[in-house]
Structure 1
Amino acid sequence: MNFLEKLFGKKSKEKVSVEKNTKKERAKPKVAPERIGELGEYKINIQLDQFPPNYKHLNDLMLENMKTHSGFSQIDHVLLTPYGIFVIETKNYAGEIKGGAQDKQWKVNKKFNMMNPFHQNYGHMEAIKSCLNSDNPYSFVSMISFTQRAVFSISPELRKMTSDELCVYDTELTEFIKRKIQVIKLQSTAPIYKEDEIESIYKSLTNANVTDPAIREGHKQALLSASAKEDKCSICNKPVSRKVKKFCMSNKKFQGKIYCFDHQKNIS
């Protein structure tokens, strides 16, 4: 090999090396497990904020509820409309979701149990009614929103507009709310809530919302303590949060086991 071949051969190798490094630098950074849920909530917020001004949206609402272990209920989203109060619970599971409206437990990937989310949302609606402190009946629509990483094997009625319990994908949440409102309009001669009633409910819930960081952290720790027996790292037995548990359950490479953040890195 002559001098020129050596020279250009070396430069060619250097060029390939630079290109490889550049591709690595341009690679999309991975989203940390604890951020996945937050990004999902942000997408839901954007959707619900697009409704007309006379619709009122509250998110991450924490209300007192003496029937729970922590003494509080934390509600992902509430949308107040003239045709009903939509109470929305968001889930981030991946894989097959199987269950019916009356089942106490639902199955995730035929391996794990999750609490029937509609039973969970019923508690949220009871907390709202208790907070409003009124004898008037309230018209609720309970909605459970999953990301598209989930595959539904649920009771057919949970997808029908005639039901007040609806299971949807996050990308179709707005569409289902609009369609449900159209069905209610056909059944009602007038709106269920007037504009001033919506405003009153909105103010009551806003005033009742617990925003103290210490109380919210206490609520989080109470939930963690209540589920500590089953929500532990499979390696070090360290208790993990519900978000970490959900992430592990939705990740196929963990094969149904729960790992703390430190030990997730060691699972290939």
Structure 2
Amino acid sequence: MFSKIFAKLTKKFSVEQTVVETNPKVAPTRIGDLGEYKINIQLDQLLKNSKHLSDLLLPNKRSKSGYSQIDHVVLTPHAIFVIETKNYAGTIYGERNRVKWSVNGRFPMVNPFNQNYGHIQAIKSVLGIVDDIYFVSMVSFTRRCTFKVNEELRKMSSNDLIVYDTELSDFIVRKLNVLRLQQSDPLFLDDDILQMYKIIDKSNIRDPLIRKQHVERIIEKQDTENSVHEIVTCDICGIEVSEKVKVFCHTNKKRFKGKVYCFEHQRINE
């Protein structure tokens, strides 16, 4: 199906026809992160006709740093899984259509699915794929977290899945079983998967200086955003509230005791 696309990309990147290592490990500087290591062990045990890559830095014109850093990509006959890992502890509050999520209702974080969407766009650009339908976005948290998110983000019918790190491979297998029933034929043949693997591996930027500059730009961007706009969330459910709601709650200190509540939980505290 994708032979023409891959033929053009092969010429563009001059991919060598040597055998590529099928299961690269994370870089030594990241092996100390036990969560990443556990995920790589799970991905090593996936189906034989799948391949995965980890700790990628790919060009991304839409990113302010010029790059996207991607934790894991799994290439299978029925979908490309793009995995973002998070090392938080606490209750994760969020909705798929919200720009900001929070940890414990107090500490804001970028919606990880929006973040992973940017990663998917970078992979699409490298592979020359146009449609999003070939991708499944997964966000993995440690077992130190509890999810308070949209229920559909845990259902196999969704192409956006939030999982615990210990169940990552199980969710991938279950999602593949669903996709097999939905697809009359695989989206990718074995040769397609190998070719995609080679192209992504060839595009991966390993230069430590560029990687360091990318991280510094991301940190600088986050610091700027935090100084410009303080995210205020409900003390009970963690939903982001407007500046007007915050002022109202602080104005009524006797009623709310200095805390901030969304409209629903304001009624509870009446």
How many matched pairs?
199
- The corresponding residue for 1:71 is 66
CA distance in 2, matches of 1:36, 1:50: 18
- The corresponding residue for 2:76 is 81
CA distance in 2, matches of 1:215, 1:226: 17
Let me know the Cα RMSD of the aligned residues.
Answer: 2.0
The one-character-per-residue Cα deviations of 1:112-156 (angstroms, maximum 9, x if unpaired) are 111110000000000000111245765000000000000000000
Choose 1 or 2 for highest CA Rg.
1
Q: Tell me the CA shift for residue 163 of structure 1.
A: 0.3
**Residues 98 and 111 in structure 2, CA contact (< 8 A), matched pair in contact too:** yes
**Residues 37 and 92 in structure 1, CA contact (< 8 A), matched pair in contact too:** no
2:53 to 47, 51, 58: 58
CA distance in 2, matches of 1:112, 1:148: 18
Q: Secondary structure at the match of 1:102?
A: coil
Q: Tell me the CA shift for residue 54 of structure 1.
A: 1.9
- The corresponding residue for 1:164 is 159
Q: Tell me the CA shift for residue 38 of structure 1.
A: 1.5
Q: Secondary structure at the match of 1:215?
A: helix
TM-score w.r.t. structure 2 length?
0.70
- The corresponding residue for 2:171 is 176
Q: Bigger shift: 51-60 or 223-232?
A: 223-232
CA distance in 2, matches of 1:114, 1:225: 15
Q: Secondary structure at the match of 1:180?
A: helix
TM-score w.r.t. structure 1 length?
0.70
- Counterpart of 2:123, as a letter, is I
Q: Secondary structure at the match of 1:130?
A: helix
Q: Tell me the CA shift for residue 229 of structure 1.
A: 4.3
**Residues 129 and 138 in structure 1, CA contact (< 8 A), matched pair in contact too:** no
* Unaligned residue ranges in structure 2 (runs of 5+): 1-28, 228-270
* Unaligned residue ranges in structure 1 (runs of 5+): 1-33, 233-268
- The corresponding residue for 2:209 is 214
The one-character-per-residue Cα deviations of 1:191-244 (angstroms, maximum 9, x if unpaired) are 111001111111110000000111111111111222234779xxxxxxxxxxxx
Query: Identity across aligned pairs (percent)?
Result: 53
- Counterpart of 1:61, as a letter, is L
Q: Secondary structure at the match of 2:64?
A: coil
Q: Write the mapping of 1:1-268 to structure 2, written as runs, cut at 5 A.
A: 38-135=33-130, 139-229=134-224
- The corresponding residue for 1:259 is none
